[in-house]
Amino acid sequence: MLNSASARAFRAERPVFGDDPPRFQRVKVSILGRYMLADRREFPCQIIEMSPGDAVIIAPVSGLSGERVIAYLDDIGRIEGPIVDQIDGGFVMEVISTPRKREKLAAQLTWLANKDVLNLPEDRRHERVVPDNRHSTIMLEDGRRYSCKIIDISLSGAAIEIDVRPAPGTPLTVGRMRARVTRHFENGVGVEFSSVQEMLSVVQQNLRVD
């Protein structure tokens, strides 16, 4: 399990962009997504470096310095902020967010930066189906319990619609299934089961709320 010390590494700040606020230390990533410029044109993009405070984006159209950008990124979700610098083949954008969202983004980036090194699962190894009964509960290790809705399941994991967003790497129980959070998306989280199941009917039974 990734600990909080890894996320705290992002808090080392250094001044950039003249009078702009300091930004967090970046990590190298490879995140695909799409972005929208102020005139509402959309283009595909790739994030090659990112921190909770900014992102380096490879993009076909760079936009103008100061122009506000909205981006939707795989494993991260929506980010937005102004373009603060131009680079060859793209731009750097500041990520505007609340302190709580910065903490969440730090956890997501910690997960993405370490998953290849730690051989963490991607939860895409098996066919995914929509379960017959979608209502379930999530319980964290400290005993907190939340109602949730199952979006889809596989033999190795599930996508879950839920209001809370436990950090990637967080262990939890879904129904009666032990699992770990692997990713965030707009409406919830993806989880990987502690062990791969043999039948989808067993997965559905163990996720069901009695």
pLDDT in tens, 125-163: 456 777 878 899 999 988 999 999 988 888 888 889 998
Cα–Cα distance between 60 and 116 in angstroms, integer? 28
Range 9-18 average pLDDT? 41
Quick check: 6 pLDDT over 70? no
pLDDT in tens, 57-93: 999 998 899 999 999 887 788 899 999 999 989 999 9
- Beta-carbon neighbour count of residue 58 at 10 Å? 15
CB 53 within 8 A of CB 102: yes
Q: What are phi and psi of 93, to 5 degrees?
A: -120, 145
- Give 147-181 as a DSSP string: EEEEEEE-SSEEEEE-S--PPTT-EEEETTEEEEE
Quick check: 96 pLDDT over 80? yes
Q: What are phi and psi of 9, to 5 degrees?
A: -60, -25
Q: What is the pLDDT of residue 18?
A: 41
- Beta-carbon neighbour count of residue 46 at 10 Å? 17
Domains for the chain: give ranges and CATH numbers: 4-117 (2.40.10.220), 135-207 (2.40.10.220)
Coil, helix or strand for 187?
Answer: coil
Q: Which two tokens stand for residue 74?
A: 């795989």
What is the pTM for the complete model shown?
A: 0.50
Range 172-200 average pLDDT? 86
